Amino acid sequence: MSEPTARELLVQLTQEAERLRLLDLADRCRSLDELKDCLRAMLKGVV
């Protein structure tokens, strides 16, 4: 098996960072509705 390319490593790191960002956001929200609102705001570029 070959070593991952720089591009593949960058994609992996970016995906992991996004997962951690979503977990952090979920931890800070008090309800599912609040999480949904935060996710909508994130998609609009507000957060």
Map out the domains of the chain as residue ranges.
Answer: 6-44
Q: What pLDDT is attached to residue 46?
A: 73
Q: What is the pLDDT of residues 1-47, one digit of tens each?
A: 789 999 999 999 999 999 999 999 999 999 999 999 999 998 998 75
DSSP per position, 1-47:
-PPPPHHHHHHHHHHHHHHHHHHHHHHH-SSHHHHHHHHHHHHHT--
> Cα separation of 44 and 31, whole Å?
20
Mean pLDDT score of the chain: 93
Q: What pLDDT is attached to residue 36?
A: 96
State the pTM of this model: 0.72
> Cα separation of 42 and 33, whole Å?
14
